[in-house]
Amino acid sequence: MIRDQARYHQRLCSYHIYIDAFAGAGKHISKKTGAFVLGSPMNALLVEPPFREYHFKVLPKAKYKDYRRALCILDPYGLHLDWKVIYKVGQMKSIDIFLNFPVADINRNVLWRN
């Protein structure tokens, strides 16, 4: 019984996908020091244990029914995030999102109008 549950749990959670919809170049130059700084895609590639799939700028089919689960990083510079992406991810029930919410751009370009 316990072994069956462990196998079931392992099957549910054994296929992890990394999605970085605004991956950028992978490396940046620090304004303070001039040194290279790793961006989110390079950091993801260094995570242990590794993800099974990596998708930069693509939303793959991380289907719930296929026992796949994904972490999706949304790190846009400004307001150009298509909110239908978040709606779609919510419907899939298999993807967690880290959203870097563009507060400065919202304040500058949206809230003052309404």
Minimal distance, residue 113 CB to ligand SAM, in Å: 23
Q: Nearest-CB residue to ligand SAM?
A: 39
Rounded to 5°, the CA angle 67-23-50 comes to: 45
Which residues of this protein are in contact with ligand SAM, per CB under 6 A? 22-24, 28, 39-40, 57, 75-77, 80
Residue number with CB closer to ligand SAM (77 or 101): 77
Q: What is the spatial distance between Cα 107 and Cα 49, in angstroms, rounded to a whole number?
A: 39
Given a contact cutoff of 8 angstroms between Cβ atoms, the answer to whether 46 and 54 are in contact is no
Minimal distance, residue 53 CB to ligand SAM, in Å: 18
Residue number with CB closer to ligand SAM (3 or 80): 80
Residue number with CB closer to ligand SAM (23 or 72): 23
